[in-house]
Structure 1
Amino acid sequence: MKCILFCQDNYAFGILEPIKTYLIENGHDCLWYINKKIITDFPFNNEQNTTSITTLKEYQSDAIFVPGNEVPHYLRGLKVQIFHGLAGEKKGHFRIRHYFDLYLTQGPYFTKEFNKSKSIYKNFHVIETGWPKLDIYAADKLLYHEEKNELLVKFSAKKIILYAPTFSPKLTSAPFLINQIKLLSKNNDYLILLKFHPLMDENWLDVYKKLADETSNIIFETEKNIIKFLLIADILVSDTSSVIYEFLLLNKPVITFQNISENILWENSLNYSELVELVEKNLREDLYSKERKFIFDNYHPYNDGKSAKRMVESVLNYIKVNSVPEKRKISILRKLKINSIFKK
């Protein structure tokens, strides 16, 4: 099977890497498509890759794995949506854009919603597989344990706090928590890691970079894949971001501000001035440990590290039964949008 790993944003690398590994280990061929704006971030330069849509057309793929929302309709191959997060409450998460033949969902909550749309549109299939980015949780949950201990010793700290807000201007807490992060850093028992979304407003990145430069126990992280920081942190501070669910699945406490989810099963505050108190409380008591079972069961019940395997096998089985679709029927407006995005 010939597969395209389709990357419009750099968060896609960590999502697609387990799929790439499984494909190669099982004798399949894969080609990375990298948007030119993120090519300098691409970590697998020794593997087949291109920034050219023309090259993708010539490649004649059997399947295209896409963590993003759009893919050129005119490329050959089964177009597979594998998602870029777990935040179903975000606007557009369940929107059907009609570019995809197959939706591979993370857990029952997502499967149920997309099956509702499937019954209406009848032009795609839905299979629940789990999410490949989290395969590392099964195999290498302690991968960075030694690095964490080294950090704690180096900074004479007892706990690592990860601040990872969303980039969305209407949802991000970044403009409101800068002074609270400063106050939090006055407790030398804490090492604070700042990890921002690739699309975060540059002005706020500069503000937080300056804060980290001026504060000995704050680190502004630039590594693209957030998984390491999720694994080594003791508590997460965020707002309305998919990373919340990734962290909850590690069975650790989360604090959010102004979260818009209908099912808030963690500490959420409407008051931006409570950060210091909430961190102390949740590190001490972890009041929401029992509620996290709902997240495990509904958002991602797969802890075997085999979601990438299930995804690839689902695609193989689909193609075996239905063959590779030669084209995708979409509206003129959708075609125009794709042509605009990919400069056809």
Structure 2
Amino acid sequence: MKAILFCQNNYAFGILEPIKQVLESNNDNYIWFIKEKILNDFPHKTDNFTTKISDLEHYNSDVIFVPGNEVPYFLKGLKTQVFHGLAGEKKGHFRIRHYFDLYLTQGPYFTNRFNELKNTHKNFEVIETGWPKLDVYGQGKNKYNTYKTELLEKHKAKKVILYAPTFSPKLTSAPFLINQIKRLANNLDYIILLKFHPLMDNDWINRYKELANKIPNIIFQDEKNIIKFLLISDILISDTSSVIYEFILLDKPVITFNSISENIKWEDTSNYDELVELVDTNLTKDPFAKSRAFIVKQFHPYNDGKSAQRMVEAVKSYINKNGVPKKRELSFLRKLKIHSKFGRPHKK
């Protein structure tokens, strides 16, 4: 099987890497597509990769794994949506854009919704596999324990706190929490890690970097894959971000501000001044421990570390049954949008 790992944003690397590993173990052929703007961040430059859509046209793929919203309709291959997060309440998560032949879902909450949409549109399939980015939870949950111990010892601290807000201007807590984060850092038992989305407004990135430069127990993290910081942190502070669900699946407490989630099973408030007190309460008493079980069951019930393997197997099964699509039929306007983002198909 020949596969394309399709990356438009750097968060895609951590999602697609487990699929790449399965492909390699199967001796399947693959190529990464990397947008020019993220090439410097790409960690697998010894792999086969390209920045040109024209190369993909000649590659003659069987499947295209996409953790984003668009993929060129004219590329040969089963166009497969693998998703870039678990936040189903975010605008557009369940929007059918008609670019995909197959949706590989993370858990029953997503599967049920997409099956309802499949019954309406009747032009794609849905298979539940789990999410490959979280395979590390089943394979190496403790892989950064030594790093965490060394970090705590260096700062003579007891707990690691992760602040990971969304980038969306309407949803982000970043403008409202900067002074509260500073206040939280007065407790030297805490190390506060700042991990911002790559699309976050640069002004706020720079302000928080300045804060980290001034206060030793606040650390701004530039490393692209957030999984490391999810694994070592004792509590997460956020707003409306899919990282909330990734963290809850580790069975650890979360505090959010003005979340728009439909399934809030954690501490959520609209009062930014409560941050310090809420961190203390959730670290010591963990009042939402029992309610987190709902999120695990509905959003991602897989803890075996084999979601990427299930994805590859699901794709092969689909292709064996239905064949490889030569292209995806789209409306004229959808085609124009694809042309504006990726260029027109090259004539054979």
TM-score by length of 2: 0.98
Shift of 1:104: 0.1
Aligned letter for 2:46? N
2:192 alignment partner in structure 1: 192
Q: Following TM superposition, by how much is the alpha carbon of 1:62 offset from its aligned partner in structure 2, in angstroms?
A: 0.3
Q: How does 1:281-296 map to 2 (within 5 A)?
A: 281-296=281-296
Residue 336 of structure 2 aligns to a residue in which SS?
A: helix
Question: How many pairs does the alignment contain?
Answer: 344
CA-CA distance at 1:212 after TM superposition: 0.2
Aligned to 1:57: 57
Distance 1:334 1:251 in 2: 41
Q: CA deviation at 1:189?
A: 0.3
* Secondary structure of the corresponding residue to residue 321 of structure 2: helix
- Corresponding residue number in structure 1 for 2:267: 267
Distance 1:326 1:77 in 2: 6
Shift of 1:91: 0.5
Q: Secondary structure at the match of 1:237?
A: strand
Deviation at 1:280, TM superposition (A): 0.5
- 2:297 aligns with 297
Letter in 1 for 2:144: Y
Match of 2:318 in 1: 318
Which residue of structure 1 lines up, in the alignment, with residue 222 of structure 2?
Answer: 222
Residue 35 of structure 2: aligned partner: 35
Q: What SS is found at the alignment partner of 1:80?
A: strand
Q: Give the partner amino acid of 2:11.
A: Y
1:219-239 CA-to-partner distances (Å, cap 9, x unmatched) read 000000000000000000000
Whether 2:130 is the aligned partner of 1:154: answer: no
Return the alpha-carbon distance in structure 2 between the equivalents of residues 122 and 329 of structure 1.
Answer: 13
Aligned positions of 1:1-344 closer than 5 A = 1-344=1-344
Per-residue CA distance 1:298-326 (angstroms, 9 max, x = gap): 00000000000000000000000000011
Q: 2: distance between equivalents of 1:231 and 1:153?
A: 17
The structure 1 segments of at least 4 consecutive aligned residues displaced by more than 3 Å after TM superposition are: none
Inter-partner Cα distance in structure 2 for 1:305 and 1:327 = 32
1:127 aligned counterpart, secondary structure: strand
Give deviations 1:230-253, integer Å, cap 9, x for gaps: 000000000000000000000000
Within 2, Cα distance between the matches of 1:264 and 1:328? Answer: 37
TM-superposition CA deviations, 1:113-169 (whole Å, max 9, x none): 000100000000000000000000011000000000000000010000000000000
Q: CA deviation at 1:343?
A: 2.7
Rounded Cα–Cα distance in structure 1 between residues aligned with 2:221 and 2:171: 21
Letter in 1 for 2:151: L
In 2, the alpha carbon distance for the partners of 1:85 and 1:175 equals 23
Work out the CA distance in 2 between the residues paired with 1:213 and 1:341. 38
- What is the root-mean-square deviation of aligned Cα atoms in Å? 0.4
Deviation of residue 176 (structure 1)?
A: 0.4
SS at match of 2:115: helix
Matches of 2:90 and 2:99, distance apart in 1: 20
Gaps of 5+ in 2: none
Distance in 2 (alpha carbons) for counterparts of 1:296 and 1:181: 29
User: Match of 2:183, as an amino acid?
Assistant: L
Structure 1 residue 327, shift from structure 2 partner: 1.6
Aligned AA (1:183)? R
- Distance across 2 between alignment mates of 1:299 and 1:6: 24
TM-score (norm 1): 1.00
Which letter maps to 2:150? E
- Look up the SS of the partner of 2:64 in the other structure: strand
- Percent identity over the alignment is 67
Q: How far apart, CA to CA, are the structure 1 residues paired with 2:180 and 2:333?
A: 45
